[in-house]
Structure 1
């Protein structure tokens, strides 16, 4: 299943003006459960820090979380790093158009080769680590780039089906592929990612499950089913507003439930690692 092309197509639809792009960011914040969890953690963390901190979005993509961070506090100096040069140029142009380039910048960087020291107080990494083979190298690089007392906030799939992906052998045998075919690993368990972060130097790691039962249902309604339809035919773009008119209220309730609860298991992980 091709996920990135659909995201890119939707982004192009909403990228006709700054205000439509902001609308797209707002819609993503409502629909994507991981955004609910990330924003909750940032709100809690922001109450404990100064207003003149430096923030890194490690794998900034379309700029959704940089927009939220730059809206959260005008004193934060924010850098977005990514490997896709067209997205970097696009984000720099957009943030210039909304007059935030004085405190927001995007640049190319391979996180496995990142070489910075004690620059950032907060590092956000949302659905990035599952795409990187040398995750331990990235954790070491980010630890080195953080200021003492800083926090790294990670959202990533768990090994309980978070990638909704089948192993390659199964794909070869029965011809079935997962919903997302761009991941280098199926996901982490709590012990694995905690051990890797502590090995990189982080002194305190708090990892918990997200996408419990209510979140998994919400994800299927808000993301998996509509994107599966769009992979079949772009004609379904026309039906999307009507689909979400029916499912959106249900997804909102499920998202609130997931963010508010404690899950013994789940298909996602939210991890806080402190230097």
Structure 2
């Protein structure tokens, strides 16, 4: 079961116009529970800071979170970095079309060799660290790149299932192999990631579970089962709107529950750390 081919197919459809791409961002914000958690934490953080802010999206991908952050405050300068040059070029074109190229820029950067110092007040890393072997090196580089008092916000799979993420083919009891197969680790232990961040120089570290039991059910309804269907046949693209018409109200309630609740276990982690 592969996620990236489906993501590329959807990206091609929604990239035909700025309106469709913005619509795609909005849909992702609704469907992806991690986006709910990230938006909540950034909004909470934004109430305590001013306008002269520099933000880094470390692993910006399709630009979903750069769009959200740049919409939150027009005075913030937002930089997105990624190792995929085609995504960097695509994002620069899109943000140019919507007249945000003076506020936003995308550039190539290998986080293991970042080499920037004292630039950013907020660094966001969403589902990136599980792809990088030298995570401790990246944490050191991000710490170096941040201003004193800056916040690092991470979303990453936990070691309690990691949203079915596996870096090699592992078959589960239900016969389904890993949902995403390019991870270098199956997820972080809460104490492990906290210790690595402390070692890199961060303080006031808060680690909490996301995708608790409500979020796990929501993820299966809103992401896992649709992706399974789309991998079987592209015909399911036609059926998908009707599927979401039935399931989304349930996922919506479960997402609210997951964001507002505190859980003793979960397949994701939301991490806040300060320099």
Q: In 1, Cα distance between the equivalents of 2:125 and 2:11?
A: 20
Give the CA deviation at 1:30.
0.6
Aligned pair 1:147/2:150, yes or no? Answer: no
Length-normalised TM-score, structure 2? 0.96
The answer (yes or no) to whether the contact 2:155–2:271 under 8 Å persists in 1 is yes
Question: Is it true that 1:202 corresponds to 2:202 in the alignment?
Answer: yes
- 2:187 alignment partner, SS class: coil
Describe the shift of the 1:224–1:196 C-alpha distance in structure 2 as closer, same or farther (beyond 3 A).
same
Deviation at 1:165, TM superposition (A): 3.8
In the other structure, the counterpart of 1:88 is 88
Using the TM superposition, give the Cα deviation of residue 166 of structure 1 relative to its aligned residue in structure 2, in angstroms: 5.2
Equivalence for 2:36: 36
User: What is the aligned partner in structure 1 of residue 237 from structure 2?
Assistant: 237
CA distance in 1, matches of 2:176, 2:19: 40
Correspondence for 1:73: 73
- State the shift of 1:13 in Å: 1.1
The 2-side partners of 1:170 and 1:151 are apart by: 35
The offset of 1:170, in angstroms, is: 4.8
- Tell me the residue number matched to 1:57: 57
Matches within 5 A, 1:172-211: 177-211=177-211
Give the length in aligned residue pairs: 273
Q: Does residue 1:118 correspond to 2:122, yes or no?
A: no
Q: TM-score, normalization: structure 1?
A: 0.96
Q: CA deviation at 1:213?
A: 0.5
| Distance (whole Å) between structure 2 residues aligned to residue 245 and residue 254 of structure 1 | 15
Secondary structure at 2:136 match in 1: helix
Q: Distance in 2 between matches of 1:40 and 1:166?
A: 27
Residues of 1 paired with 2:163 and 2:224: CA distance? 11
Question: Cα–Cα, structure 1 residues 117 and 246, in superposed 2: closer, same or farther, change >3 Å?
Answer: same
Q: What residue is the counterpart of 2:18 in the other structure?
A: 18
Answer yes or no: is the 8 Å Cα contact 2:61–2:82 preserved in 1: yes
- Aligned-residue Cα RMSD (Å) equals 1.5
Counterpart-to-counterpart distance in 2, 1:141 and 1:83:
16
How far off its partner does 1:8 sit?
A: 1.2
Structure-2 residue corresponding to 1:164? 164
Helix, strand or coil at the partner of 1:273: strand
Post-superposition offset of 1:230: 0.8
Are the aligned partners of 1:149 and 1:274 in contact in 2 as well (CA < 8 Å)?
yes
Contact 1:163/1:183 (8 A) holds in 2: no
Preserved contact between residue 153 and residue 272 of structure 2 (Cα < 8 Å): yes
**Equivalent residue, structure 2, for 1:221:** 221
Instruction: Look up the SS of the partner of 1:49 in the other structure.
Output: coil
Residue aligned with 1:220, SS: helix
Asked if 2 retains the 8 angstrom alpha-carbon contact of 1:117 and 1:146, the reply is yes
Tell me which residue corresponds to 1:101: 101
Structure 1 segments of 4 or more deviating over 4 A?
Answer: 166-171
Q: After TM superposition, give the deviation of residue 234 of structure 1 in Å.
A: 1.2
- CA-to-aligned-CA distance 1:17-37 (integer Å, 9 cap, x gap): 101110110010011000000
